[in-house]
């Protein structure tokens, strides 16, 4: 079993960052533009244990594959998990967590436990490739969440444009 962690600090309240994931369009926003992924149907709700999200992915750009993930272990304001029911991995458990630092900032944490197919042979050939792909993908995802949530948390001045505020 392999473990991948990605963590960043977001200057927005933890409840805001966690609640951002309730938006049905969150999964599409979190999908990097270079990944050949399409959400099939309506994504499941993260707060409904057992709800599912189905993604159509393309392995190596040519092999279509459906990835079905089930939402589990919802802990309001703190964490939830996506568990692969079917897809490219032998095992995939993705835990999304938000931990407050103070009332204005939080740690945003993704933890993935995964196992590739084909046993030791699969691990040998995919170890570097999978980790690099995960680093690139989660870097993108964290940047999206950071930008959107910090923008939502920023004080708004009525009738003042962003250009006006910076002067």
Q: State pLDDT tens for residues 30-83.
A: 999 988 888 998 888 899 999 999 999 887 667 889 999 999 999 999 999 999
Per-residue three-class SS string for 113-164: EEECCCHHHHHHHHHHHHHHHHHHHHHHHHHHHHHHHHHHHCCCCCCCCHHH
The residues, ordered by sequence, that sit 6+ positions from 89 with a Cβ below 8 Å of its Cβ are 114, 115, 116, 117
More confident residue, 29 or 158: 29
Strand order in the sheet with 79-86: 2-10, 105-115, 91-102, 79-86, 63-75, 52-59, 37-40
Instruction: Please identify, in words, the CATH class of the domain defined by 2-154.
Output: alpha beta
Residue 94: CB atoms within 10 A of its CB come to 17
Q: Which helix (H) or strand (E) holds 165?
A: helix 162-165
Model confidence pLDDT, tens digit, residues 93-129 = 999 999 999 999 999 999 999 998 887 777 777 778 8
- Structural tokens at position 54: 């189905």
Statement: residue 165 has pLDDT above 80: no
Asked whether the predicted pLDDT for residue 156 surpasses 60, the reply is: no
Least confident range of 50-59, 125-134, 150-159:
150-159
Q: Locate the domains of the chain by residue range.
A: 2-154
List the Cα angle 26/27/33 in 5-degree steps.
110
Does 12 have pLDDT greater than 80?
yes
């Amino acid at each position: 079993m392999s473990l991948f962690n990605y963590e960043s600090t977001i200057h927005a309240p933890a409840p805001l960052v966690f609640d951002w994931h309730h938006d049905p369009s969150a999964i599409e926003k979190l999908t990097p533009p270079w990944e050949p992924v399409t959400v099939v149907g309506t994504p499941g709700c993260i707060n409904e244990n057992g709800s599912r999200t189905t993604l159509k992915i393309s392995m190596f750009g040519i092999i279509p594959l459906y990835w079905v993930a089930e939402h589990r272990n919802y802990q309001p304001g703190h964490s939830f998990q996506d568990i692969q029911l079917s897809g490219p991995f032998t095992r995939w458990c993705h835990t999304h967590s938000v931990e407050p630092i103070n009332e204005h900032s939080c740690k945003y944490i993704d933890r993935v436990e995964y196992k590739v197919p084909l046993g030791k042979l699969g691990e040998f050939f995919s170890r570097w490739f999978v980790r690099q792909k995960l680093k690139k993908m989660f870097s993108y995802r964290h940047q999206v969440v950071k930008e959107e949530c910090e923008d939502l948390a920023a004080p708004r001045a009525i009738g003042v444009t962003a250009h006006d505020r910076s002067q």
